[in-house]
Chains A and B, each alone.
Chain A
Amino acid sequence: MKVGHKIKKPEKLNLVPILDSVFIFIFFLLMSAQFVDVYEIGSSVPMMKEAKEEKQEKDPLNLTLEVTKTQIIVKTGLRKPLSRTFASEQKKEIKEYLVELKRQYPKETTMVLKADPKISFQNLVTVIDSTQNPKEMKSPLFPQIVFDNNGVGK
């Protein structure tokens, strides 16, 4: 009654080609690896253009941020200027205010930044961060940042 089944040994997988490709891939990745994740924040010099005088019903946003060591003043409007002062630590409140402004002026993309010459670069970057990429919005708030060299309060 013995059935003459021969137990077949499973054939061994040939891993050589896959190992070759993995090694090549590793070398490629090692050569192109950058262990510090660097990104960029864009800014541009103010551009001049001749604007035709058009009657605008809505007052333009003209968003300006004045950054000092202790406070951030958000100024808006041209005909009826408004300003709101925040303490430097109130990053969340600034973001909420800017989100509200973006809802009112969805086409505006420019933000003028006036900073105290004594503030550190890290402080400036933190302020810029608080004005960009809120999680609740898909698009950035005011991605075009223009630095005003006149300084704060001028």
Chain B
Amino acid sequence: MKKRFHRHKDREAIDVDITSLLDILTILLVFLLKSYNASDLKLDLQKGVEIADSDAREMTRYAPVIQVNQQAQVYLNNKEIGRLPASGEMPVLTEALKKAKAGIEADNKKKPANQQANTEMVNLVFDKEMDYAVVQRVMHDSALAGYSQFKFVVKGNY
């Protein structure tokens, strides 16, 4: 019993070498800092949407997001609205946009002036192979819902 007790006493705290762990953490920190985006817009790309490459470096801002994929399916704030008709307007989209605008306006009333979102702005995400005719029609429907500032969301190329 005595011997066993002695052995227990001799045990010293093990020195863990954390240098490699710190190296990994530093690399991870630098990588995450590089990919940090201060924009308040969180974009979840829908299936079949490949965004266009651009030299633009203006940061995206919070506003309703319309996405149109290769199959001409339209999404508003990640909810599918339907397929864009072959020609003419899309009243479902206009109505959904009006609702979104009313929602933002109601939210704005609860917020101080400097934190209010722009109710005139809409973010447009198109597949890069989409015809300009589709872009035109979506812009037209957005204008009918009361939006006057269109922001095309693009991918930064380096």
Chain A interface (Cβ < 8 Å from any Cβ of B)? 15, 19, 22-23, 25-26, 29-30, 32-45, 47, 115-122, 124-126, 128-129, 132-133, 147, 149
Chain B interface (Cβ < 8 Å from any Cβ of A)? 18, 22, 25, 28-29, 32-33, 35-37, 39, 41-43, 45, 51-61, 123, 126-133, 135-136, 139-140, 143, 148-156
CA of A34 to CA of B133 in the docked complex: distance in angstroms?
A: 30
- When the two chains form their complex, are residues A118 and B54 in contact, meaning their CB atoms are under 8 A apart? no
Residue from the list A34, A42, A44, A124 in contact with B43, Cβ < 8 A = A34
- When the two chains form their complex, are residues B132 and A121 in contact, meaning their CB atoms are under 8 A apart? yes
Q: How far is the CB of B74 from chain A (nearest CB, A)?
A: 15
Q: How many residue-residue contacts, CB under 8 A, span A and B? A: 144
| Nearest 10 interchain pairs by C-beta | A117-B133, A29-B32, A122-B128, A37-B156, A40-B151, A34-B37, A125-B52, A41-B152, A129-B55, A39-B56
Report whether over half of chain A's contact residues are helix, strand or loop; otherwise say mixed. Answer: mixed
What residues of B have a CB within 8 angstroms of the CB of A128 in the complex?
A: 54, 56
CA of A118 to CA of B51 in the docked complex: distance in angstroms?
A: 18
Q: What are 13 A-to-B residue pairs whose CB atoms are below 8 Å?
A: A29-B36, A37-B37, A38-B154, A39-B56, A39-B60, A42-B58, A43-B149, A44-B149, A120-B130, A125-B152, A126-B54, A128-B56, A129-B55
What residues of A have a CB within 8 angstroms of the CB of B37 in the complex?
A: 32-34, 37-38
What residues of A have a CB within 8 angstroms of the CB of B60 in the complex?
A: 38-40
What residues of A have a CB within 8 angstroms of the CB of B135 in the complex?
A: 121, 124
What residues of A have a CB within 8 angstroms of the CB of B130 in the complex?
A: 120-121
